[in-house]
Amino acid sequence: MAETKKIRWLPLESNPEVMNKYMYNLGASSDWAFFDVFGFDEDLLGMIPKPVAAVMLLFPISDKSETVSIGTEEEVEGLYYMKQTVGNACGTVGIIHALANNGNQVSLDESKALSAFLKRTASMNKDERAVALGEDESIGSAHESSAQEGQTEAPDINTKVNLHFVAFVHHNGGLYEMDGRKSAPTRHGNTTPGTLLEDSMKVAKQFMERDPGELSFTITALAANS
């Protein structure tokens, strides 16, 4: 994970309970929640409530993941995209990408940290947004608090972590992977709001097939919390 000014946060656990508490603290509506996705079968995907606004994939960074590309990077007008320059902040960047690109579905409390951050950075470019995140004490504090609440003990802040979050979102008929380490969003073909989960899972399967020796993949879906 790229770093600027040696800023590092504790890594966030891919745990719906932790992720939900975190995004609610940031101001996201409790009408939405992250749910574990347990597999590719139709019955397992059918357990996820609809609609689905975004999908989060946690995958291991390896030689294969770094050298075998999937999808096509492209600049996209209308997508909120930011670089990640804070070490171990990929969980927060993924959640920001998931929420910022679903403002028509997931409402944000205007008095809370995320709404303020999105307003402040709306006219910034992707690199300026990355710097702004590193300087945002409210989001940084909320991230640190959530990172310490997982089921596993949080590692030392200086420990190198080889797991990375990306978010998948729908935009104008396209399926986009939002990865703050890349120069732009990555398009993975077409999708619709109704097929976002299934189409994202097809891409997640490609991630796994690219690196079959790795087992540390987890997937969560941001979906209606009925």
Token digits for 164? 């990375």
Query: Can you tell me the distance from the alpha carbon of 15 to that of 149, in angstroms, rounded to the nearest whole number?
Result: 10
Token digits for 155? 């590692």
Q: How far is CA 43 from CA 138, 208, 216, 223, in A?
A: 40, 20, 23, 16
- To the query of whether residue 164 is one of the catalytic residues in this protein, the response is yes
Query: Can you tell me the distance from the alpha carbon of 66 to that of 98, in angstroms, rounded to the nearest whole number?
Result: 23
- To the query of whether residue 170 is one of the catalytic residues in this protein, the response is no
Q: Is 119 left (phi over 0), alpha (psi -120 to 50) or beta?
A: alpha
Token digits for 181? 């380490």
Token digits for 143? 């991230």
Query: Residue 88: CB partners within 8 Å, gap ≥ 6?
Result: 1, 8, 9, 10, 11, 12, 157, 161
Q: Which of 90, 170, 171, 188 is catalytic?
A: 90
Token digits for 168? 């998948």
Tell me whether residue 156 is exposed, middle or buried, using C-beta atoms within 10 angstroms of its C-beta: 0 to 12, 13 to 18, 19 or more. Answer: exposed
For 61-171, list the strands marked E by DSSP: 72-73, 163-171
Q: Which of 143, 164, 170, 171 is catalytic?
A: 164
Active-site residue set: 90, 164
